[in-house]
A = this chain, B = another copy of it.
Amino acid sequence: MPPISLSQRSAWTRRQAISFLMQQAVENRHVLSLAAGLVDEATLPAFECQTALQMLLSDPVRARSALQYGTTQGADGLREQLVEHFARLEGVPRSELGVGADQFLATTGSQQFLSLAAETLLDPGDICLVAAPTYFVFLGVLNGVGARAIPVTADADGMRMDALEDRLRELERSGELSRVKVIYLVSDFENPSGVCLSAERRREVVEIARRWSRERRIVILEDAAYRELRYDGEPLPSVWSCDPSHEHVVYTQTFSKSFAPGIRVGFGIAPRELVGPLCDRKGNEDFGSANLNQHLLATILASGQYASHLQQVLAGYRAKRDAMLAACDEFFADVPGVSWVHPAGGLYVWMSLPAGISTGFDSPLFSLASKRHEVMYVPGELCYPADRPDWTAPRYQMRLSFGVLHSDGIREAIRRLAGAVRDVLSSPGSAGR
């Protein structure tokens, strides 16, 4: 029988690394995972969902509406609630927000919105500028549409604006400026590095996108997945809010981290001229995310249960973040050349080993950690675009999630990880390069 011939798109689409990690977790049952991006089980809102669904489904009119087909763009009632919610996050009255429900799309998590935006904006060979490091699943999305992810150096304040302009100048010189379509930013608590783009850079990036939009507009895709998971400090205005025209920034957020991933509701906000194309694309892909879930979330938002539940979620994660940082102090203090970021929010601690120690799937460290020490992490190199002639991804970093394990488990996992790192450092010739 002749083979099935897959599309070019399919060939570009790599298995997301998360699949390999899940397989490793299944094959190594006693492994403590610092890799999984799952959320805290203890704070999942079973009671809140039960109450809201009971209310929704016992009302015949609302039940029928929730169980019928919805629209591709998303339930009106939810999108109205989303406008209110977004206005609260921006700290402005709804009337001054400058955007209405007609520019909101409800999606299957923010992931679907990111994918729709990539499909709608990027042709094969087009360029998306990304912070280095950045969200590895989005790098997979860019591969899947055949686009090129070009890394921009980041520091403790997020993507560096001088580096961004350098990249744009290089691309202008090489005649590729017209291929730059998107700047992708995880504005709050970057996955994996935990850093936030500073307020100043938020204004600058909008100005840079505007200035470098010549024949074609450069769109900023702002991924605010972790925005509401802030444990310290004051919230920052979104990049979106730094663009009064609201014509340069596409914004997306999800309730997966702040409420429950199993509901799988995210949303996006788009400039008016993009709303139609995004909806048309979604029309082909599924013509609408689950309507019941949208009605459920609208109920939860309207009742105030979301806001009160979020406080529990934040308290839980804050404690676990602190547990991880304390464990790092405890077990890594005397390991030379190891450093880590103290995140003010999000779900990850980003750790750097001495530059010679490789953390990749095929490294001695990963093997030692997962098999002998029974602990798993996300290798940092996954969070960088693939190597290019002028660019080699760092190989010595790790993303450590405090999302899933309890505080005791986090401490034990960090203890194990430190053991694995020590083993590698003390092995002949400091293996793992």
Contact = CB atoms under 8 A, between A and B. Distances in A.
B119 A7 contact: yes
Interface in A56-109: 57-58, 60, 63-64, 66-72, 107-109
B68 A262 contact: yes
B271 A4 contact: yes
Interface in A252-273: 256, 260-265, 271, 273
Given A9-B281, A16-B283, A264-B291, 6 more contacts: A4-B271, A44-B67, A111-B285, A115-B284, A263-B290, A292-B293
A107 B112 CA distance: 13
Interface residues on A, range: 35 or more
Nearest to A295: B262
Contact of A16 (B120, B215, B280, B289): B280
A217 B18 CA distance: 30
8 contacts: A2-B214, A4-B216, A4-B273, A5-B216, A8-B123, A16-B284, A49-B67, A261-B291
A368 B9 CA distance: 45
How many copies of this chain sit in the oligomeric assembly?
2
A213 interface: yes
Given A8-B123, A10-B120, A69 B283 contact: no
Interface of A: 1-10, 13-16, 18-19, 22, 37-39, 41, 44-47, 49-50, 53-54, 57-58, 60, 63-64, 66-72, 107-109, 111-112, 115, 119-123, 126, 137, 140-141, 144-145, 181, 210, 213-217, 219, 245, 247, 256, 260-265, 271, 273-274, 276-277, 279-281, 283-293, 295
A234 to B, nearest CB: 30
A286 B284 CA distance: 14
Nearest to A179: B5
A3 B120 contact: no
Contact of A57 (B8, B46, B290, B291): B46
Given A144-B281, A277-B10, A67 B112 contact: no
Given A217-B1, A262-B291, A263-B292, A54 B50 contact: yes
Contact of A4 (B119, B219, B280, B288): B219
Contacts of A9: 119-120, 123, 145, 281
Contacts of A111: 285-287
A262 B109 CA distance: 17
Contact of A64 (B41, B210, B291): B41
A18 to B, nearest CB: 7
B69 A10 contact: no
Nearest to A294: B262
Contacts of A287: 16, 18, 109, 111, 137
Nearest to A121: B7
A291 to B, nearest CB: 4
Nearest to A210: B1
A336 B285 CA distance: 41
A290 to B, nearest CB: 4
A210 B210 CA distance: 55
Given A16-B283, A50-B57, A281-B10, A217 B273 contact: no
A390 to B, nearest CB: 26
B53 A13 contact: no
Nearest to A271: B4
A88 to B, nearest CB: 24
Nearest to A108: B286
A34 to B, nearest CB: 16
The residue among A22, A60, A247, A264 with the most chain B CB atoms within 10 A of its own CB is A264
Given A1-B247, A5-B181, A122-B7, A67 B262 contact: yes
A229 to B, nearest CB: 16
A77 B41 CA distance: 19
Contact of A144 (B68, B109, B261, B284): B284
A25 B373 CA distance: 63
